[in-house]
Amino acid sequence: MRRLLAAAAVLLAVVTAIAVWPLFPSFENRPSSEVCVGMPGDFPPDSVRRFPEAGVFVVCDGKGIFAVSGKCTHLGCPLQWDEKKDDFRCDCHGSRFDAEGRVIASPAREPLPHYAITYREGVGLVVDTSRASTDPKEWKKEPYYFPLGDER
């Protein structure tokens, strides 16, 4: 009887491990939080470029470059850049964000996160979506802002 219980316990452990394995992906299988968006010269002054695969917009304000989330902070719908109004709009429920990501029309209440953007020699500008700030006081500082003429 003891052997039967031990075998059942081992079988249960193996079945449980197989069942929960997909819930804990290995580090190798995790998608990278970094995406290369190009060289600083690829972004003309006053330009906004979308990187849908990374869920970000990269904006050049003429003095520097920053990366802002492409997802609405209300319920996560993808944002569109409205060139005529110079803002980001969400077609789901009508939220709007100014060109830096501040809320200008609800229902969204939180600004768009800005992501770290750094220049890597031989690679270019790299956006790291694991490092984000929703504090406008940080948005014009490194690592959330890449000043033009700062390519090192």
The answer to whether residues 74 and 30 touch, using CB atoms and an 8 Å cutoff, is no
Q: Which of 30, 83, 81, 29 is nearest to 57 (CA)?
A: 81
Q: What part of residues 105-124 is at the interface with ligand FES (CB under 6 A)?
A: 107-108
Q: What part of residues 58-77 is at the interface with ligand FES (CB under 6 A)?
A: 72, 74-75, 77
Q: What part of residues 89-108 is at the interface with ligand FES (CB under 6 A)?
A: 90, 92-95, 107-108
Binding residues for ligand FES, how many (CB under 6 A)? 11
| Cα-Cα end-to-end distance for the chain | 72
Alpha carbon distances (Å) from 118 to 63, 126, 151: 15, 5, 9
In the complex with ligand FES, which residue's Cβ is closer, 62 or 94? 94
Contact residues for ligand FES, defined by CB under 6 A? 72, 74-75, 77, 90, 92-95, 107-108
